Amino acid sequence: MKISSILSNTTRAALMATALVTATASAAAAAEGYGDCPLTGTKGSASITPAVPGQFTVIINLPAVGQFNGDTPETIKSGYEFCMAVNIAHRLGLEKVKLVNASFDSIVAGQNKNFDIALALISVTEPRKKVVDFSTPYATSDYGVAAKAGSTVNEESVKTSHVGAQAGTTLVPFLQETLKVENVDVFDDTASMFTAAAAGKVDAVMTDLGIVLGQVANSNGKLVTIGKYSTGGEMAGIYQKGYTNGAAIDKIIADLKADGTLKTLEKAYLLESFGGVSPDDIPAWKQ
């Protein structure tokens, strides 16, 4: 996720405006089962018929440091995408956010049912639009490259290295077709991919830059972020094909962007999860 504009351009006035709500909203969030998230906007200002009565059901893909902070759905109380979901539920007047963990493959293939939105740093692509509906975009996407500490992989040698990517992500065709990496190892999930990188079983791994920075920050020095690629892509939530509540949720997401809520969540949760490292500090590699 690209947050450089957040770190450099967020105005003092916007932060102060959100802070006025945050002081009292955190207590309200905890009382409503919303974890530790600050709430903004008016509760119940919009309404939908949720997939499961009385709750906002969100499909996620763990681990997702900075986005959903916790090892299991039940332990998550903070994170950028989590708190975005919480604020959507709040404005819909729903008292509960239910998280359901699923494989990334199943999410982008439209295989999950009975949910209101899937949030997993999902890039919008034309092939995916054939099987799922996308929400209004809420972030832009860059790809990050991570490697074992001490690695000598660089912008040139990465193309002849063994590089890992997660199944079902846009990274697989990016590596194979755009970068023309000779050896692409595909992993079932994020955790196994980064474990392989830390153990030196692959030379490098690639995924969304935000995920890379979060995993590196939590690797106890075993991993380093060595590069990034700008994609110009957008990230959005996923709805089931033909989902009738999309317009109402899209309006809330647009409002969360316009009123500064998403910028505040990015600053609060992403920079912290990145270990204080700004995405702007990562060397940009050419495709």
Q: Which pLDDT tens digit goes with each residue over 82-122?
A: 999 999 999 999 999 999 999 999 999 999 999 999 999 99
Q: How far apart are CA 135 and CA 220, in angstroms?
A: 35
Mean pLDDT in residue range 21-31: 39
Q: How far apart are CA 236 and CA 135, in angstroms?
A: 5
Q: How far apart are CA 144 and CA 215, in angstroms?
A: 11
Q: How far apart are CA 10 and CA 38, in angstroms?
A: 18
Q: For residue 260, is pLDDT > 90?
A: yes
Query: How far does the chain reach from its first CA to its final CA, in angstroms?
Result: 18
Measure the CA angle with vertex 109, ends 108 and 115; round to 5°.
Answer: 70
- Tokens 């729903």 — which residue? 94
Entry pTM: 0.76
* Cα-Cα-Cα-Cα dihedral sign, residues 165, 168, 170, 172: positive
Give every CB contact of residue 66 below 8 A, 6+ residues apart in sequence: 79, 80, 210, 213, 214, 269, 270, 272, 273, 274
In the chain, alpha helices (H): 4-9, 12-31, 80-92, 104-108, 126-129, 171-173, 190-198, 209-217, 246-258, 261-265, 271-273
Q: Which pLDDT tens digit goes with each residue over 170-220?
A: 999 999 999 999 999 999 999 999 999 999 999 999 999 999 999 999 999
AA letter at 29: A
Q: Which pLDDT tens digit goes with each residue over 194-208?
A: 999 999 999 999 999
Q: Which pLDDT tens digit goes with each residue over 237-249?
A: 999 999 999 999 9
Question: Residue 141: its pLDDT value, please?
Answer: 83
* Percentage of the chain exceeding pLDDT 70: 89
Give every CB contact of residue 62 below 8 A, 6+ residues apart in sequence: 68, 70, 71, 72, 73, 101, 190
What domains, with CATH codes, occur in the chain?
4-139+235-274 (3.40.190.10), 140-231 (3.40.190.10)
The residue among 236, 224, 234, 232 whose CA lies nearest residue 281 is 224
